[in-house]
A = this chain, B = another copy of it.
Amino acid sequence: MTTATTIGLLHPGAMGVTLGSSAINVGHTVLWASDHRSEESRTRATVAGLTDVNTLESVVKQSKVIFSICPPHAAIDIATSVAEAEFTGIYVDANAISTDTTATIKSIIEAGRSSFVDGGIIGPPAQKQDTTRLYLSGARAEEVEAMFEDAMLQGIAVSEDVGDASALKMAYAAYTKGHSALLLLSRALAKANGIEKHLLNEWALSQPHLASLCEREGRTAAKKAWRFNGEMREIAATMQATDLPGDVHQGAAKIYDRLAGFQQGSEAPSVAEILQQLVHPTDSQAT
């Protein structure tokens, strides 16, 4: 049995709330701050049983461990706010960020009086056992792992080195999210050249899994493109930090830029709509 702890969650998105409920189910208390958050976040947090303490300052004051779970572009800002509020516990950044961004956040956190643990979540929002893992690295990674003993979300401490958990997340997503981008891009090239029908005929003969994969992965990815683009740029930066080419994921980022507008609306777009937007982008984010 793990010792019950008070945890702060910044901020409860689709993935974050399942970390929260995993923690609550094994006896922890999970705080969040409703200030400046959307109605959707409030509903999600209430359903998950999170305790609203209104402000980030209250979260910082009352929590022993804080988890940052947000889109990649917001990770540094959240760390800065927590450091400025003089947090003294363990700060876990569980975002899809590059090894360099991770090092920056480590500096921000350790400049204050708190400890930094690097985290990376792999898998869908944890709604049942064994689907989702929170990888952890850093001097206090094992303490955080222990907090999730018997929880739906599994904690796995991989090493004492900050950066390892982020690198693992980057390498994993480099393939999975890069793959969806590549599949859509390849089909978009056929559409742009007026030969999509012939590509689909050839796929049916020699790559019979691709049409359904394009449907399944492409539609899911398009809906999340508004945050996948940032994640692709974090991956490109991680590639470049080890002298591997960043171009593949820079290109994937541009593909997701073009699809970012599909965040709106409750339905996932059709493959035809996605290809249309790739070939004739209407969004101002298109590059």
Residues of A within 8 A of B (CB): 99, 122-123, 133, 135, 158-159, 163-164, 167-168, 170-172, 174-176, 178-179, 181-183, 185-190, 192-195, 198-199, 202-203, 205-207, 210, 235, 238-239, 242-252, 254-255, 278-279, 287
Contacts and interface: CB of A to CB of B under 8 A. Distances in A.
B176 A190 contact: no
21 contacts: A135-B202, A164-B193, A164-B195, A167-B189, A168-B198, A170-B189, A172-B199, A175-B183, A175-B186, A175-B207, A178-B186, A179-B179, A179-B182, A182-B182, A182-B248, A185-B244, A189-B238, A244-B278, A247-B247, A247-B254, A248-B248
Secondary structure call for the A interface = helix
Contacts of A239: 185, 189
Nearest to A214: B175
A171 B158 contact: no
Contact of A175 (B195, B210, B248): B210
B242 A251 contact: no
A175 to B, nearest CB: 4
Given A171-B187, A176-B207, A185-B244, 6 more contacts: A167-B193, A167-B194, A171-B199, A175-B186, A247-B248, A247-B251
Contacts of A198: 135, 158, 164, 168
A244 B190 contact: no
A143 B190 CA distance: 24
A202 B122 contact: yes
